[in-house]
């Protein structure tokens, strides 16, 4: 009570809070203590302008604290509170508030330490108050999971961070209180990682901590601590991005089975001791590798990688990143799985051979997304032949051969639909094995369709106006006679599959054994009959027929009779001459049996019985037996109650069979026919209509689904984009700069590329540092050059008229001089008079005459094919007189953004030109050369190349090797213009492949460039031009290996330096004066090829 008056000086709230607690305090404390307690309160309140607020909290916290702390510590508690209040009343409020909870968790004598720590965080700068506040606020949460000494360690970390940045430190504490409680047993290893981080990369520590729980969730529980200690080791490295390491490596681990984490981390651990920098690459590569090989094989792969790493660090890095050929080869050697991409070409040719139709093989979409499956390919189908689907990888079997066979079986089955004409169903074609009842059924069955449904149907047609235009397809007509179309469709599919599989076995005995193996395997994956409702069970039995063909089936007893009836019906389909219409007839009969049955839930007690599939069965008159069984089924089923009847569901798809969509295929061919007919009049069907028809054919009306409009939209816009970009350099430019925007960072790390369209080509690239090729490293797109004005050609020729004439005359001299006389031959067309006389003289004089008395005319033939490769990089936009200066400025900025800017500015320069650019001289030389080449009839091609980055190498066709010189070619020359960077390797490789297809005795590749190869990522970190030069050299060597003589012509004054490395023993020439190019090029060519 001594100080109550003093309290009055402060706002009333203080006295109030004092009053509420003083009775409690007085009860517990001795008088002396009580006074001390009061005094502390006053002391606190006096510590600053708003310190009274702290005092309020002090009093409020008192009752709790009194219970927990002996008075000695309480006094200390108050003392520290006052010190804190002096610095920041916010902090002290938080301190008093938090102490209620914290005091539960720490020993009383630690309270002072705790307070002291908080105070230490205070002070440094204006924002440290906030840090301290969050320290106090979060202490309780953190202390729940940590001992006080651990807690102290954490706070030491916080202090370290706060030395750099106070806000960050506060965030760190907030984060710690959220994350640490969830980590449980992983907390300690996590802390050691974090403390490592704070030491080495304090900026990343908060972020890492915050993602810790989601990261660890992806990793097997027992391996978490090891993962963390691995991360800790990684974090000790300079310049490590621990955040992305944690994120990406945990994602990678999360995508493989938990039980292999131990092995993967073992390897990662060993790797991290040798080279911590590639652990992430390794971890990222693992899921991909594990898709192909087992974890044990992964060890072998890893060992090879380690041995490479020891010899050559860069090579090892490339190996573990899955970028080197050796890594790929090893994986290939080890894996038993067969990847579709590896065998796609073989399968495509195989299918082409079997069916005589161009088949496109597409990887199956993962999951069962029906839209994804049918939409994009549908448009492809309209454009091309047919499409079959194979999974990405085949790996169910133990050997590579068996897995490959699985692809083959799948392909053979799907192709069988084409080969044995499943899609050419015609309603009116008579069947060969059955009596035709389709026609009779057609009207009577359609009665079954309710009036309402009919009306709906008609209305739909009216609105859409499509069916009227095109009518129904034959197969739609057929399915229209059934009431339950999904059921009919499934029966038809099973019957047709039965027919086809049988046919395949007979016609292709070689594949039969693999086929049987696959069939058996599919059977093992199917649901047992006893678990299916009646109708589905019967359909399933049909599928089993088609899968097993002969032998014994285990059939629940109640189906035995029906099974034998169905067997009799389906059996004739195995006759060799059976056709798709037979399957249709069988479908009608089978449908009758199955649809008469209600779809009852399975009955557990049913016993199974053997059903012998006797091949001789059912050869007799099946009409009778079928009638019988139909009536049987009716009798047996009617008495059952209706509660356990289910909606009919289509059976699961047979693994290897893919989807069978006869309606869709017929609809497509109908549209195609229509388009063909109307091609001339240009009034094709609108895209919407096509989509509509196809979607109707694709999904039965009953379950008609709406096609995702977005999906369509994307497709159309892609198409449009495609059209736009074709051959138009500017459009290409834009496109690639877009591509760049989204993908520029981290480009080297993205590994091998994929080529997805026919005009794209993938090339390996040589990395001299790893002495190996980087797999599928460059994506080259071949495009036709856009067309400009052919006047350019004539104008240029006029401009150089005297030179052109001169060159042409020189070339005419080279052209074969018809027949050349060869004298004194052993054999020939006529006798050579002089030789004959000599021979006679010899003879008369007694010596042996020469037998070489004939004259022979030999045809002298030039047999030269040449490809000119023009550098169309941005640097060719330089004005000619600037060339000298520019030699020093060749180096493009490394930063991608700057680089794009740099490119654009260079191009901009070109736009406003009134002077000649390097590229103009290139063009003029080409014109003159073409003019001259035409006189000697050499085969020649002209291509330009440019690009940006390894995934955007553009290869422009100005004149294809096989193409004749036409107006179009002349127009294309006009469009040669400077574009982007120069990645020579892939362009040379592609040009070489162009020549490979030409039959000529001498082949040349003339590379006309203005500077050394240079592209983003083409001169790698630290090695500058070396990388590009080595790759270019290897590309040139490859060309030579393929019988092509390369020649480099450059206008770069500095050229000597790098050309020497590039061409060593190959031909090269540096033009001292670019203006000489038009004159020099034809001359050079003449000398080269003589």
State the residues that interact with other proteins by CB under 8 A.
345-347, 349-350, 352-356, 358, 408, 412, 507-513, 828-831, 836, 839-840, 843, 853, 857-859, 999
Q: Minimum Å distance from CB 381 to other proteins? A: 18
Which one, 50 or 857, has the nearer CB to other proteins?
857
Q: Which residues pair with 859 in a beta bridge?
A: 819
Q: What is the largest CA-CA distance in the chain?
A: 161
Q: Minimum Å distance from CB 404 to other proteins? A: 9
Which one, 145 or 346, has the nearer CB to other proteins?
346
Write the CB contacts of 872 (distance below 8 Å, at least 6 apart in sequence).
729, 919, 944, 945, 946, 956, 976, 977, 978, 979
Q: Give the 3-state secondary structure of residue 487.
A: helix
Closest CA to 780 of 577, 624, 993: 993
Q: Minimum Å distance from CB 959 to other proteins? A: 16
Q: Which residues pair with 957 in a beta bridge?
A: 784, 943
Which one, 745 or 999, has the nearer CB to other proteins?
999
Report how far residue 1006's alpha carbon sits from residue 1049's, in angstroms, rounded to the nearest whole number: 7
Which one, 345 or 708, has the nearer CB to other proteins?
345
Which one, 527 or 831, has the nearer CB to other proteins?
831
10 Å Cβ neighbour count for 895?
A: 12
Q: Give the 3-state secondary structure of residue 173.
A: helix
Q: Minimum Å distance from CB 857 to other proteins? A: 7
Q: How far is CA 9 from the centre of its chain?
A: 74
Q: Minimum Å distance from CB 207 to other proteins? A: 49
Residue the block writes with tokens 């029966």: 491
Q: Minimum Å distance from CB 968 to other proteins? A: 18
Q: Minimum Å distance from CB 359 to other proteins? A: 10
Which one, 212 or 504, has the nearer CB to other proteins?
504
Report how far apart, in Å, the C-alpha atoms of 363 and of each of 394, 885, 905 are. Answer: 11, 53, 43
Q: Minimum Å distance from CB 504 to other proteins? A: 8
Which one, 161 or 839, has the nearer CB to other proteins?
839
10 Å Cβ neighbour count for 557?
A: 11
Which one, 308 or 864, has the nearer CB to other proteins?
864
Q: Are the beta carbons of 453 and 564 closer than 8 angstroms?
A: no
Closest CA to 413 of 548, 527, 569, 518: 518
Q: Minimum Å distance from CB 324 to other proteins? A: 22
Report how far residue 217's alpha carbon sits from residue 246's, in angstroms, rounded to the nearest whole number: 12
Write the CB contacts of 1021 (distance below 8 Å, at least 6 apart in sequence).
none
Which one, 561 or 850, has the nearer CB to other proteins?
850
Which one, 310 or 821, has the nearer CB to other proteins?
821
Q: Minimum Å distance from CB 506 to other proteins? A: 11
Write the CB contacts of 327 (distance below 8 Å, at least 6 apart in sequence).
301, 305, 318, 319, 320, 775
Element holding 585 (H helix, E strand): helix 580-595
Q: Are the beta carbons of 736 and 307 closer than 8 angstroms?
A: no
Q: Which residues pair with 394 in a beta bridge?
A: 338
Which one, 358 or 708, has the nearer CB to other proteins?
358
Helix spans in 218-294 (H):
224-235, 242-254, 261-274, 279-290
10 Å Cβ neighbour count for 406?
A: 23
Report how far residue 340's alpha carbon sits from residue 974's, in angstroms, rounded to the nearest whole number: 43
Which one, 112 or 836, has the nearer CB to other proteins?
836
Which one, 415 or 570, has the nearer CB to other proteins?
415
Q: Minimum Å distance from CB 280 to other proteins? A: 36
10 Å Cβ neighbour count for 702?
A: 9
Which tokens is 1090 given? 């003589």
Report how far residue 344's alpha carbon sits from residue 336's, in angstroms, rounded to the nearest whole number: 17
Which one, 152 or 852, has the nearer CB to other proteins?
852
Strand positions, DSSP E, 583-712: 608-613
Q: Are the beta carbons of 76 and 112 closer than 8 angstroms?
A: yes
Write the CB contacts of 185 (distance below 8 Å, at least 6 apart in sequence).
225
Which one, 75 or 857, has the nearer CB to other proteins?
857
Q: Give the 3-state secondary structure of residue 241.
A: coil
Q: Are the beta carbons of 1057 and 1025 closer than 8 angstroms?
A: no
Q: Minimum Å distance from CB 840 to other proteins? A: 7
Q: Which residues pair with 1046 in a beta bridge?
A: 1005
Q: Minimum Å distance from CB 357 to other proteins? A: 8
Residue the block writes with tokens 């292999």: 260
Report how far residue 678's alpha carbon sits from residue 668's, in angstroms, rounded to the nearest whole number: 15
Which tokens is 790 given? 């052919």
Q: Give the 3-state secondary structure of residue 906.
A: helix
Q: Minimum Å distance from CB 963 to other proteins? A: 12
Which one, 225 or 403, has the nearer CB to other proteins?
403
Backbone angles phi, psi at 996, to 5 degrees: -60, -30
Report how far apart, in Å, the C-alpha atoms of 243 and of each of 210, 286, 777 are. Answer: 10, 19, 28
Which one, 344 or 1040, has the nearer CB to other proteins?
344
Angle between helices 279-290 and 242-254 (to 10 degrees): 20
Which one, 404 or 766, has the nearer CB to other proteins?
404
Write the CB contacts of 821 (distance below 8 Å, at least 6 apart in sequence).
855, 856, 857, 858
């Amino acid at each position: 009570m001594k100080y109550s008056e003093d309290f009055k000086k402060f706002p009333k709230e203080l006295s109030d809070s004092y009053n509420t607690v003083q009775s409690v305090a007085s009860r517990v404390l001795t008088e002396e203590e009580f006074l001390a307690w009061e005094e502390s309160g006053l002391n606190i309140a006096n510590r600053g302008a708003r310190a009274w607020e702290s005092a309020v909290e002090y009093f409020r916290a008192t009752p709790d604290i009194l219970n927990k702390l002996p008075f000695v510590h309480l006094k200390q508690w108050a003392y520290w509170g006052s010190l804190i209040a002096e610095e920041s009343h916010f902090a002290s409020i938080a301190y008093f508030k938090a102490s209620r909870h914290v005091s539960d968790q720490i020993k009383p004598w630690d309270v002072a330490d705790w307070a002291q720590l908080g105070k230490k965080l205070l002070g440094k700068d204006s924002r440290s108050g906030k840090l301290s506040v969050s320290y106090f606020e979060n202490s309780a949460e953190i202390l729940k999971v940590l001992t006080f000494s651990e807690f102290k360690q954490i706070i030491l970390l916080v202090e370290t961070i706060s030395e750099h940045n106070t806000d960050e430190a506060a965030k760190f504490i907030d984060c710690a209180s959220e994350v640490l409680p969830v980590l449980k047993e992983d907390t300690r290893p996590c802390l050691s990682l974090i403390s490592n981080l704070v030491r080495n990369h304090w900026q990343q520590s908060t972020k890492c901590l915050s993602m810790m729980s989601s990261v660890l969730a992806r990793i097997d529980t027992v391996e978490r601590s090891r993962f963390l200690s691995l991360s800790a080791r990684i974090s000790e490295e300079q310049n490590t991005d621990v955040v992305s390491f944690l994120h990406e490596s945990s994602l990678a681990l999360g995508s493989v089975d938990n039980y292999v984490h131990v092995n993967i981390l073992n390897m990662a651990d060993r790797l991290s001791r040798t080279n911590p920098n590639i652990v992430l690459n390794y971890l990222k590569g693992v899921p991909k590798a594990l898709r192909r090989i087992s974890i044990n094989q992964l060890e072998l792969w890893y060992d090879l990688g380690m041995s490479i790493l020891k010899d050559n660090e860069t090579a090892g890095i490339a190996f573990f990143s899955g970028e080197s050929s050796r890594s790929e080869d090893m994986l290939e050697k080890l894996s038993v799985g067969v990847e579709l991409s590896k065998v796609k070409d073989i399968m495509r040719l195989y299918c082409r051979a079997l069916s005589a139709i161009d088949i496109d093989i597409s990887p199956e979409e993962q999951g069962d997304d029906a839209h994804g499956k049918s939409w994009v390919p549908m448009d492809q189908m309209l454009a091309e032949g047919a499409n079959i689907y194979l999974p990405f990888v085949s790996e169910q079997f133990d050997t590579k051969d068996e897995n490959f066979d699985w692809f083959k079986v799948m392909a053979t089955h799907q192709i069988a639909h084409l080969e044995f004409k499943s899609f050419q169903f015609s309603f009116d074609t008579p069947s060969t094995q059955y009596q035709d009842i389709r026609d009779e059924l057609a009207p009577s069955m359609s009665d079954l369709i309710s009036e309402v449904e009919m009306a709906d149907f008609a209305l739909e047609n009216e609105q859409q106006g499509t069916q009227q235009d095109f009518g129904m397809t034959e197969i739609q007509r057929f399915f229209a006679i059934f009431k339950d179309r999904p059921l009919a469709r499934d029966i038809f599919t099973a019957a047709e599959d039965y027919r086809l599989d049988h046919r395949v076995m007979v016609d292709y005995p070689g594949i039969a054994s693999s086929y049987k193996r696959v069939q058996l395997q599919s059977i093992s994956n199917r649901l047992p009959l006893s678990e299916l409702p009646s109708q589905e069970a019967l359909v399933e039995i049909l599928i089993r027929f088609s899968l097993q063909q002969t032998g014994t089936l285990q059939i629940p007893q109640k189906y035995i009779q029906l099974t034998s009836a169905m067997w009799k019906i389906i059996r004739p389909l195995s006759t060799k001459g059976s056709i798709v219409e037979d399957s249709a007839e069988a479908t009608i009969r089978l449908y009758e049996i199955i649809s008469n049955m209600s779809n009852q839930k399975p009955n557990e007690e049913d016993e199974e019985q053997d059903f012998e599939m006797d091949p001789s069965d059912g050869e007799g008159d099946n009409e009778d037996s079928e009638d019988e069984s139909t009536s049987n089924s009716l009798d047996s089923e009617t008495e059952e109650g209706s509660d356990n009847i289910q909606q009919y569901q289509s059976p699961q798809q047979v693994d290897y069979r893919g989807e069978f969509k006869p309606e869709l295929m017929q609809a497509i061919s109908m549209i195609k026919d229509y388009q063909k007919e109307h091609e001339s009049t240009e009034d094709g069907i609108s895209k919407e209509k096509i989509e509509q028809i196809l979607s109707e054919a694709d999904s039965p009306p009953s379950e008609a689904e709406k096609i995702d409009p977005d999906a369509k939209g994307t497709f159309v816009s892609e198409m449009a984009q495609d059209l736009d970009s074709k051959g138009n350099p500017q459009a290409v430019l834009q496109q690639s700069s877009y591509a760049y925007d989204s993908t520029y960072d981290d480009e080297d790390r993205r590994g091998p590329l994929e080529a997805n369209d026919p005009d794209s080509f993938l090339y390996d690239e040589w990395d001299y540092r790893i002495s190996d090729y980087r797999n599928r490293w460059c994506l080259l797109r071949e495009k036709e050059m856009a067309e400009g004005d052919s006047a350019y050609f004539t104008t240029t020729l006029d401009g150089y008229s005297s030179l052109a004439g001169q060159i042409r005359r020189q070339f005419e001299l080279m052209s074969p001089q018809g027949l050349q006389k060869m004298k004194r031959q052993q054999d020939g067309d006529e006798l050579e008079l002089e030789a004959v006389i000599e021979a006679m003289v010899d003879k008369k004089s007694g010596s042996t005459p020469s037998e070489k008395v004939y004259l022979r005319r030999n045809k002298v033939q030039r047999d030269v094919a040449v490809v000119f490769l023009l550098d169309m990089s941005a640097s060719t936009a330089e004005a000619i007189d600037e060339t000298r200066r520019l030699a020093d400025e060749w180096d493009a900025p490394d930063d991608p953004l700057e680089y794009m800017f740099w490119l654009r500015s260079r191009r901009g320069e070109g736009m406003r030109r009134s002077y000649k650019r390097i590229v103009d001289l290139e063009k003029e030389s080409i014109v003159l050369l073409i003019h001259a080449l035409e006189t000697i009839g050499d085969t020649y091609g002209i291509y330009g190349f440019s690009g940006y980055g390894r995934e955007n190498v553009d290869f422009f066709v100005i004149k294809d090797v096989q193409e004749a010189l036409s107006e179009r070619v002349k127009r294309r020359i006009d469009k040669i213009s400077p574009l982007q960077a120069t990645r020579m390797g892939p362009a040379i490789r592609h040009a070489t492949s162009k020549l490979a297809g030409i039959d000529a005795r001498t082949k040349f590749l003339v590379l006309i460039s203005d500077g050394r190869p240079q592209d983003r990522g083409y001169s790698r970190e630290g090695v500058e031009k070396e990388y590009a030069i080595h790759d270019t050299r290897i590309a040139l060597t490859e060309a030579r290996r393929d019988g092509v003589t390369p020649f480099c012509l450059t206008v770069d004054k500095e050229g000597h330096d790098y050309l020497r490395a590039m061409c060593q023993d190959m031909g090269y020439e540096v033009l001292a004066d670019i203006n000489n190019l038009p004159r020099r090029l034809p001359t050079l060519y003449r000398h080269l090829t003589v």
